[in-house]
Structure 1
Amino acid sequence: MIMTRALDKELGPPSMSHAQPIVFVVDDDISVRESVELLIRCEGWQPETFGSAQEFLARPRALVPSCLVLDVSLPDLNGLDLQKRVAVERAEMPIIFVTGYGDVPMTVQAMKAGAVEFLTKPFGDEVLLRAIRHAIERSRVVLNREAEILALRDCYTSLTHREREVMALVVSGLLNKLIGSELGISEITVKAHRGQVMRKMKADSLADLVKMAAKLRLARAPRLNVSQAS
């Protein structure tokens, strides 16, 4: 059985309440849920426990750093099948498997599908806590990346059709003169559109703009040669 920590451990308040990590626990053994819940709470994280996969899936997605401590054997949907659902619907949530009868094929399947850890009961507090810390940090990185992409998409949406055309040619490495020739506009007009693109995308340099285009997976415009522009 999982060892529990002393109840009198001092709890530190989170720096931002809305960013407090959530540790989800899905296990049909109530004694395990209660033990893990106490351990999680003592670390200052927010625990949420469920006795089945369906109960967990009914809970809306939480857009804060999180992870899932998941038993393999469950009364409805088993842990490995739930893992497949989580990978699609809640990709920012790493999974830590716990089981009382793990075998090598099961462990390999879970790890290949992206589990961060596969623990066999009984295990010590620190083993589980170390896995949770790692999982929460992974979740935080994924959420930050998602937030960055959403912000970039908002900026890109603010561009006019012409500005998007100019941006595509700029990140392809074309000079203003060639961009003007391709689009049938003057070099001065290209410079004006280019300035608007840099401002709206909040790019400090051409290198920044190229990185943004890559993150947005924008298709680069074909390179022109000088003869095409003349």
Structure 2
Amino acid sequence: MNESPRVHLVDDDESFLNALSRLLRLEGLETRAFISATALLGSLGPASRGCVVADLEMPGMTGFELQERLAAAPAPMPILFLTGYGDIPASVRAMRHGAIDFLEKRAPKEELMRSIRVALERGDQEFERRGRLRDLDQRFGRLTPRELEVLQHVVVGRMNKEIAAALSINERTVKLHRTAITRKVGVHSSAQLATLSKEIGLFGNEPTLTA
């Protein structure tokens, strides 16, 4: 079951962490608080969603290390930094690697809330994108090896006669495979097949047509 979107807070200063949690709950946001980046990462699963608000300088795993780990996690979430030790080089590094924002802890509440809302929206978009890719993987996963061979030629615009020649089968068999492919994937045209195949990176190169 998918989780509801949450703001995941990470800071080794427990008093600040508790105060920030109370503030965000008063703003109607669901939160989870962690005193270390390791604790946060250990709590995440494929169904986790939302965003992360993290300190930069923490014992053990730093905010930058957390940012890297989140990007490679099963459920990557947007991160924004809320720190008392910010400087321009750190801000540039954070933003270059995809942080939503880089704020000091004394930043106005309105600015913080605006950045968190942006992060949550970005997190929702990423969650929906992952769900769509999982669905496409399942649909294309129903194809047989031979259907995948036929599909690889279909998506680059080969005609049935060309596909038959390339795979040493007759045109009627090609037509049957194409019908099965569109039914299993749930589309109605070769153009849709090409678009969806590209979206999930199904084929890296154009097939070589043999005589």
Aligned-pair distance for 1:30?
Answer: 2.2
**1:201 aligned onto 2:197:** no
Give the fraction of aligned pairs with identical amino acids, expressed as a percent.
39
CA distance in 1, matches of 2:98, 2:63: 13
Residues 23-62 of structure 1 mapped to structure 2, 5 A cutoff: 23-61=7-45
Structure-2 residue corresponding to 1:4: none
- The structure that has the greater radius of gyration is 1
Residues 1-230 of structure 1 mapped to structure 2, 5 A cutoff: 18=2, 20-61=4-45, 63-89=47-73, 92-217=76-201, 218-222=203-207, 224=209, 229=211
Equivalent position amino acid for 1:57 in 2: L
CA distance in 1, matches of 2:16, 2:82: 10
Q: What SS is found at the alignment partner of 2:72?
A: helix
Unpaired runs of at least 5, structure 2: none
Aligned-pair distance for 1:89?
Answer: 2.0
- Residues 26 and 94 (structure 1 numbering): CA distance in 2 closer, same or farther, change over 3 Å? same
Q: What SS is found at the alignment partner of 2:81?
A: strand
Q: What SS is found at the alignment partner of 2:114?
A: helix
Structure-2 residue corresponding to 1:3: none
More off after superposition, 153-162 vs 42-51: 42-51
- Residues 204 and 44 (structure 1 numbering): CA distance in 2 closer, same or farther, change over 3 Å? farther
Equivalent position amino acid for 2:19 in 1: S
Aligned 8 A contact 2:7 2:30 in 1: yes
Residues paired across the two proteins, number = 210
CA distance in 1, matches of 2:42, 2:139: 34
- Per-residue CA deviations over 1:179-203 (Å, capped at 9, x if unaligned) read 1111122111111110100111111
Aligned-pair distance for 1:176?
Answer: 0.7
Unpaired runs of at least 5, structure 1: 1-16
Provide the alpha-carbon RMSD of the alignment. Answer: 2.0
Aligned-pair distance for 1:69?
Answer: 0.6
- Residues 78 and 110 (structure 1 numbering): CA distance in 2 closer, same or farther, change over 3 Å? same
CA distance in 2, matches of 1:42, 1:205: 50
Aligned-pair distance for 1:216?
Answer: 2.3
